Amino acid sequence: VPDSSSNACEVCRCLNGNLVCRARTCPVVSTTAFHITTGRGGCCPTCDGCQFGSSTYDDGAIFASHDNTCLTCVCSKGTVSCVNKPCAEVACSNPSIGSCDCPVCSGCSYNGDTLYEDGQFFNPPDNPCRRCSCYEGNVLCRDTRCPVPDCAKPETPSGECCPKCTEAIHKCCGSCENCFYLNQTWSNGHRFQPNACQDCVCINGNIQCVTKACRPLSCPLNQQGTCCPICDRCYLDVENRNVASGFSWRVSECQSCRCDLGSIVCSTQQCPMLDCPHGMLTYKQPVTPGECCPHCIPRPASCVAFGDPHYQTFDGRMIHFQGTCRYLLTADCSRAAFRVEVENRNIGGDARVSWTDRVHMTVAHHRITVDGFYNVMLNGTQVPHLPLLIKPYIFIDKSANTLLINTHLGVRLSWNALQHHLQVEVPSSFKKKLCGLCGNFNNLPQDDLRLRNSRIARSDIQFGNNWKVLGREMQSCPDATPYNPCDGISYRKRKRANNACKVINSDLFAQCHQVVSPAMYFSACVHDVCACGGNEDYCLCDVLETYAAQCRRAGVVVRWRSSTLCALNCPSELGYVFDECGSPCKRTCANTNLPPSVIEEQCYMPCVSGCQCPAGMVEYDGRCINSMDCPDT
């Protein structure tokens, strides 16, 4: 049977037919209990509340320990149990240990053992290269950057962070100017290399060394005895290939390059200063193939026909000849490579004076004729519009008031029909090969009056008549006779002509006097003004423009025109402006998209005077327009 008893303090059970009873064992009551009771029907005493120290607490009460504020106690059925108080969470990463062994953010701990005060700096024992500080429970650290030691084998002393040079022994010698290093004495200021990677110098008893910095390479190749890796080849982007170190090549006539241990080193040839003798000039472009530096060549020659008319020969002699026929101006009399003829006609009603009215040129089996209205005939057919290019022989174009003809021979012609001004330029290759009114181009003006039979004429008239072009249409053209227009006019008119032409000798042209003598042009000016009669201003301006053109050719630009002297009015309503030295490379809608170098290949005059389109504008249909407004072609 189960345990049973009528007495609550006994426990009975049936054992082999006998009822065996024993007294119930009661648990020990805590001495901290302040109220012990058996309870109704109970046998064993129970606790109701606790006594802790001098205080009593109800069952289930939680309270702090009186003798240890870090403990929290609880009363449970007369028994008091105490545990450590829980610590509050902190926001710092390296807190220190405060009261009750709880972390606090005033001060820091490092690696769990060492405590540091707030604001304290320290080097961790396990890492001398790290510098740390404590701030409100947080440890902030940064690593020390060590300087590069100036020696090949630096060592780091125990307990220190940075490596140091230990093999250098510096001794003060005498006045402390010399240095003792690597068992050797070095004088003050002496530079040396203790190894392949260092450059050292002795300064007042101290050795200062700098270690070479090696640049990064895309093709490193270590070589014994060198400090830094090297390259044994160079890559050429243009040719997409590698070349060995030491290989050299030419980039242009003036520049060459070589491969030097992975680096491309280029050098430009330095040209010496040239001082060309008289009659020679510095030849720069086009450069002879394969050559870089300029050299001296014979100066190109220029012959000018102007006024009524006057001819300045290739060798600089001035000839006055007023014939009214067709004449050989100049030609290649050795190989007949080219020929230039001029037609003169009377000025007004005076049959004794004339000016150039038409120009004929023969070159490369082509016949070119230009007249006083800039009409161009090619092989008997009128050219409808310019520019005209016959590759590679002839280029013809008009810029301002000047018509330009350029040939493959280097023979160049410019024609200002309004002022009857013609200029022919020939290269030095035609020296001593020419004949005609422009002379023989041998740098001797004394023999420029040479006739067809190689004799020297006695006068300009005899010389000019001798070079009349023979032909059926010229048979009826009479020879010119000697005539000076100033002889047949009054003293007042002669004086007026002299006064008008004095402007050539004035300060207005002073900057040009040193390069182009004004004497011959003054004489020609007086001659023409005397012949012009009532049109003196026209003849005066013709000669002044001729002299100004020669100045421009010599590199001196004289801005001589004014509102009272030979004013040239350009049609501003069409967009034109006057330019004393405008570009001969006229920009038009036809060539506006071409590179300037392509246009300039055919331009040879330094500049021309006349009506030009302003910068940024191009010529189209007789007016200046913005290049963006050119019609599509």
| pLDDT given at position 597 | 55
The residue with tokens 């012959």 is: 303
Cβ proximity of 551 and 515 under 8 Å: yes
d(CA 345, CA 363): 25
Cβ proximity of 486 and 497 under 8 Å: yes
Cβ proximity of 411 and 374 under 8 Å: no
| pLDDT given at position 168 | 47
Cβ proximity of 512 and 558 under 8 Å: yes
Write the DSSP symbol of residue 17. T
In a domain, 209, yes or no: no
Which of 527, 560, 593 terminates a domain? The answer is: 560
Residues of the chain with pLDDT under 70: 1-8, 28-42, 112-114, 145, 147-153, 166-176, 215-226, 274, 276-291, 295, 297-299, 348-351, 472-475, 594-606, 633
d(CA 185, CA 202): 10
In a domain, 10, yes or no: no
| pLDDT given at position 109 | 78
Residue 505 sits in the same domain as residue 603: no
List strand residue ranges (DSSP E) for 166-222, in order: 179-181, 184-186, 191-192, 198-203, 206-211
Residue 310 sits in the same domain as residue 371: yes
CATH number at residue 633: 2.10.25.10
- Radius of gyration over every alpha carbon of the chain, rounded to an integer in angstroms: 57
Q: Is the dihedral of CA 513, 516, 517, 521 positive or negative?
A: negative
Burial of residue 577 (number of CB atoms within 10 Å: 0-12, 13-18, 19+): middle
Residue type, 273: M
Q: Is the dihedral of CA 136, 138, 142, 143 positive or negative?
A: positive
Cβ proximity of 296 and 277 under 8 Å: yes
Residue 437 sits in the same domain as residue 337: yes
Residue 316 sits in the same domain as residue 426: yes
In a domain, 381, yes or no: yes
Cβ proximity of 619 and 586 under 8 Å: yes
CATH number at residue 304: 3.40.1000
| pLDDT given at position 174 | 45
Nearest CA-CA partner of 234 in 222, 213, 217, 253: 217
| pLDDT given at position 172 | 43
Phi, psi of 267 (to 5 degrees): -140, 145
Query: How many domains does the structure of the chain reveal?
Result: 5
Nearest CA-CA partner of 408 in 426, 387, 424, 392: 392
Query: Where is 390: in which H helix or E strand?
Result: strand 388-390
d(CA 557, CA 547): 11
Residue 532 sits in the same domain as residue 630: no
d(CA 376, CA 397): 10
| pLDDT given at position 485 | 84
Residue 512 sits in the same domain as residue 374: no
Residue 425 sits in the same domain as residue 554: no
Which token pair is 49?
């509340």
Pairing status of strand 366-370 against strand 376-378: antiparallel
In a domain, 192, yes or no: no
Which token pair is 30?
């805590």
List strand residue ranges (DSSP E) for 517-601, in order: 577-582
In a domain, 385, yes or no: yes
In a domain, 542, yes or no: yes
At a CB cut-off of 8 Å and minimum separation 6, what does 15 contact?
A: none
| pLDDT given at position 425 | 92
Residue type, 54: S
d(CA 303, CA 396): 19
Residue 338 sits in the same domain as residue 318: yes
Q: By three-state DSSP, how is residue 513 classified?
A: helix
At a CB cut-off of 8 Å and minimum separation 6, what does 100 contact?
A: 69, 70, 84, 85, 87
d(CA 323, CA 581): 32
DSSP string, 407-459: ETTS-EEEEETTTTEEEEEE-GGGTT-EESTT---SS-GGGTTB-TTSPBPSS
- Domain carrying residue 117: 95-143
Residue 307 sits in the same domain as residue 444: yes
Residue 334 sits in the same domain as residue 441: yes
In a domain, 429, yes or no: yes
In a domain, 187, yes or no: no
Residue 420 sits in the same domain as residue 500: no
Residue 420 sits in the same domain as residue 505: no
3-state secondary structure 215-253: CCCCCCECCCCCCCCECCEEEECCCCEEEECCCEEECCC
Cβ proximity of 424 and 411 under 8 Å: yes
Cβ proximity of 216 and 254 under 8 Å: no
3-state helix, strand, coil in the chain (%, to 5): 15, 35, 50
Write the DSSP symbol of residue 255. E
Write the DSSP symbol of residue 109. E
